[in-house]
């Protein structure tokens, strides 16, 4: 008797990345999907004729395995980054927007950075992002809070009205400026390269005081990177009203086995 052998078919891992809003239909036989979602980062505040503005908070980063129904279409929404405050006054930057996978997974947005006369805003939505950075008198402003792994809370730094703590998936607050030059107004650290807070603004004449940002957050006078959920970088006044910088949009990455 002849015994015929057949190759063993191993399941394959599939990945689909959404950088803009779209639809994903669960393939035949697929009942679970891993969702990596990042909300939109907040914009930084504007600066008046003197002083600086705070960086925007990073969008929340969420990782979750959810149950899906084969053949069902799910709406994938990518949160926009918040706009920087306009140069027509001294105002707080806009918050970002929520990213979501159907009604199953939500990644909240980062808060807007504040300035000398206005308070920053907190991250929000389900699983909120980091809070925006506040102003520290007329010398420099705090970096925005970043997103980090589950369990951490995020607060932008800078003054007593800094953006509120984020939720379960937000984290890593930005630092505040120190007049001694030992602490820069850095943006809060992100998670796996996403959701970094924007750096706070500081005087351009002191390079040691200039904040830095990571994980998609904007450095001083820079937008947050698109599809990272990074917050917009704060600014230092040039003697006129100066507008803020926008936060980066979010992203969703899906993984499944079939």
Q: Is residue 3 part of a domain?
A: no
Q: Is residue 1 part of a domain?
A: no
Beta bridge partner(s), residue 105: 101
More confident residue, 203 or 198: 198
Kindly state the average pLDDT of the residues 193-205.
77
Most confident of 21-35, 82-96, 124-138, 211-225: 21-35
**Domain region containing 232:** 12-258
More confident residue, 26 or 174: 26
More confident residue, 10 or 237: 237
Residue 153 has pLDDT above 50, yes or no: no
Beta bridge partner(s), residue 253: 17, 36
Q: Judge whether 134 and 54 are in contact, CB under 8 Å.
A: yes
Q: Is residue 80 part of a domain?
A: yes
Q: Is residue 169 part of a domain?
A: yes
Residue 135 has pLDDT above 70, yes or no: no
Residue 167 has pLDDT above 60, yes or no: no
Q: Judge whether 34 and 255 are in contact, CB under 8 Å.
A: yes
> In whole angstroms, what is the distance from residue 128 CA to residue 164 CA?
10
Residue 79 has pLDDT above 70, yes or no: yes
Q: Is residue 215 part of a domain?
A: yes
Residue 23 has pLDDT above 60, yes or no: yes
Q: Any idea which of 155-169, 196-210, 215-229 has the lowest mean pLDDT?
A: 155-169
Domain count, the chain: 1
Q: Is residue 135 part of a domain?
A: yes
Cβ neighbours of 25 (radius 10 Å)? 12
More confident residue, 189 or 136: 189
SS3 209: helix
Q: Is residue 195 part of a domain?
A: yes
Among 97, 85, 60, which residue's Cα sits nearest to residue 171? 60
> In whole angstroms, what is the distance from residue 91 CA to residue 142 CA?
15
Token code pair at residue 251: 């992203």
Q: Is residue 6 part of a domain?
A: no
Q: Read off the DSSP letter of residue 161.
A: T
């Amino acid at each position: 008797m002849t015994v015929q052998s057949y190759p063993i078919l191993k399941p394959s891992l599939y990945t689909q990345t959404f950088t803009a809003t779209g639809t994903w239909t669960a393939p035949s036989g697929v009942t679970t999907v891993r969702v990596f979602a990042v909300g939109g980062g907040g914009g930084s505040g504007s600066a008046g004729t003197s002083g600086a503005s705070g960086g925007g908070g990073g969008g929340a980063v969420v990782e979750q395995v959810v149950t899906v129904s084969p053949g069902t279409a799910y709406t994938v929404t990518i949160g926009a980054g918040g706009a920087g405050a306009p140069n027509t006054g001294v105002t707080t930057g806009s918050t970002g927007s929520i990213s979501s996978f159907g009604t199953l997974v939500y990644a909240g947005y980062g808060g807007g950075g504040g300035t000398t006369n206005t308070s920053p805003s907190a991250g929000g939505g389900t699983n909120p992002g980091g809070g925006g950075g506040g102003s520290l008198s007329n010398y420099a402003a705090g970096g925005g809070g970043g997103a980090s792994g589950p369990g951490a809370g995020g607060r932008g730094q800078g003054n007593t009205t800094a953006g509120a703590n984020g939720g379960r998936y937000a984290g890593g607050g930005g630092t505040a400026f120190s007049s001694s030059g030992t602490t820069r107004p850095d943006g809060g650290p992100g998670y796996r390269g996403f959701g970094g807070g924007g750096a706070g603004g500081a005087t351009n004449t002191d390079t040691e005081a200039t904040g830095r940002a990571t994980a998609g957050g904007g450095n001083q006078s820079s937008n947050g990177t698109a599809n990272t959920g990074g917050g917009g970088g704060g600014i230092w006044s040039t003697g006129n009203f100066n507008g803020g910088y926008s936060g980066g949009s979010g992203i969703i990455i899906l993984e499944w086995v079939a």
